[in-house]
Amino acid sequence: MTLTAKLKKSALLIAASTTLIACDALQITGGPLDLDIGAAQANNLLDRGGFDGGFGAWRACSDPSTVTLSTNDINTVSSAQLSANGCIYQAVPAAPNDFMIASCSARKATNNWASMTFGYLDKDHQPLKTIEAPIPDTNFTTISARLRAPADTAYAEVLIYAEDGAVIDDCELVNMQEGAPAELLINAWFEEGLNGWQACPRGSVTVDNDVANLNESCLSQKFTAYEGAELTVSCNGVKLDDSHTALALGFLDATTQAIEMIEVPITREEGVYPSVTLTAPASTSYAQVMLYTEGEANIRSCSLTQPEES
């Protein structure tokens, strides 16, 4: 089960309720963000993402009694404790074309639904684009979601909801737009359908609401490259069955024959971003990114970057 329509209307990215949760003077030490973004933790846009000193700018989108501070989890002094149907959120200013990554360390109380949702709002707090990452189990796991802000964006919002309760800690929201490497893929977010992408002749590929659906098919893009170039590709995707599904990065020679290629699996778990980094060998003329599935898969976005020094 996903967030109920009631929650989405009242809190998820509308933020009509601004119930302030009382703050207590507490200390906390947070663990590292499980994303390869260097020192981005220092640029956390969330107020008290580790619930240091209480809830700060976090707001309840459920009965305030369902949101309290917990003091006995993951070696911290405090974390957010949600009881049944508990819900909290925080909104921060944002702008069109921002590229933000949201993450939290979380565990749910039972196997029932719990999730973190990240999205963008317009100036009237109406939702423009959202993505929901489930909290997978009852052990602490870092969950993450990332999106590029569409036109008319005024705010970014992170929301956590749990049917039977959850413990939340170390939440971060980082804007990667400034100083981020240039995006090499054309139409990396599928906002222009399949523009720039080459679909395989077998199976089918469609795009709906900026999500590419692959059914026993593949997608690829090919670029000019040179020996020594270091490229990194990652994708936000999930397979919808148990069939083999993968992301691949490879280098081709002048006759477009593969010289070297590495693939990583795309799993059924939301919020996981498979990534490949590869350095072009001798005789390289082209680089190619490929998404492939023997069953069915949904791909929300991909990114191909090259460090300035390579």
Q: Which residue has the higher pLDDT, 139 or 293?
A: 293
Q: Which range in 43-47, 213-217, 233-237, 302-306 is most confidently predicted, on average pLDDT? A: 213-217
Domain edge (last residue) among 175, 208, 232: 175
Q: Is 183 a domain residue?
A: no
Q: Do 232 and 279 sit in the same domain of this protein?
A: yes
Of the listed ranges 137-141, 142-146, 160-164, 194-198, the least confidently predicted one is 142-146
Of the chain, the end-to-end C-alpha distance in Å amounts to 45
Q: Do 168 and 213 sit in the same domain of this protein?
A: no
Structure tokens at 3: 């967030």
97-122 tens-digit pLDDT: 888 888 898 999 998 999 999 999 99
Q: Do 36 and 125 sit in the same domain of this protein?
A: yes
Q: Do 101 and 44 sit in the same domain of this protein?
A: yes
Q: Do 129 and 231 sit in the same domain of this protein?
A: no
Instruction: Indicate if the pLDDT at residue 213 is higher than 90.
Output: yes
What's the average model confidence in pLDDT over 123-138? 88
Instruction: Indicate if the pLDDT at residue 95 is higher than 70.
Output: yes
20-79 tens-digit pLDDT: 222 222 222 222 222 222 333 457 899 989 887 788 899 999 999 999 988 755 556 689
Q: Is 160 a domain residue?
A: yes
Q: What is the pLDDT of residue 15?
A: 34
Q: What is the pLDDT of residue 307?
A: 65
Q: Which band of pLDDT confidence, cut at 50, 70 and 90, is reported for residue 177?
A: low
Q: Is 190 a domain residue?
A: no
Q: Do 28 and 168 sit in the same domain of this protein?
A: yes
Of the listed ranges 86-100, 179-193, 235-249, 271-285, the least confidently predicted one is 179-193
Q: Which residue has the higher pLDDT, 289 or 18?
A: 289
18 vs 8, 57, 89, 273, 307, CA distance in Å?
15, 10, 10, 33, 42
Structure tokens at 259: 């010289």
Sequence letter at residue 182: A
Q: Is 245 a domain residue?
A: yes
Q: Is the Cβ–Cβ distance between 114 and 135 less than 8 Å? A: yes
Q: Is 191 a domain residue?
A: no
Q: Do 132 and 64 sit in the same domain of this protein?
A: yes
Q: Is 310 a domain residue?
A: no
Q: Which residue has the higher pLDDT, 209 or 89?
A: 89
Q: Tell me which residue of 238, 263, 256 sits closest to 198, measured CA to CA.
A: 256
Domain edge (last residue) among 111, 141, 175: 175
* CATH number of 215's domain: 2.60.120.260
Q: Do 253 and 149 sit in the same domain of this protein?
A: no
Q: Give the rounded percent of residues in the chain with a pLDDT score beyond 90.
A: 49
The residues that bridge with 14 in the sheet, in sequence order, are none
Q: Do 164 and 18 sit in the same domain of this protein?
A: yes
264-297 tens-digit pLDDT: 999 998 777 899 999 999 998 889 999 999 999 9
Domain edge (last residue) among 142, 175, 208: 175
Structure tokens at 192: 């222009």
Q: Is 278 a domain residue?
A: yes
Q: What is the mean pLDDT of the chain?
A: 81
Counted domains in the chain: 2
Q: What CA–CA distance (Å, rounded) separates 215 from 223?
A: 25
Instruction: Indicate if the pLDDT at residue 8 is higher than 60.
Output: no
The residues that bridge with 148 in the sheet, in sequence order, are 99
Q: Do 120 and 161 sit in the same domain of this protein?
A: yes
Quote the domain boundaries for residue 275: 198-305
Q: Which band of pLDDT confidence, cut at 50, 70 and 90, is reported for residue 1?
A: very low
Q: What is the pLDDT of residue 197?
A: 93
The position carrying tokens 């800690």 is 169
Q: Do 62 and 114 sit in the same domain of this protein?
A: yes
Q: Do 155 and 69 sit in the same domain of this protein?
A: yes
Q: Is 184 a domain residue?
A: no
Q: What is the pTM of this model?
A: 0.54
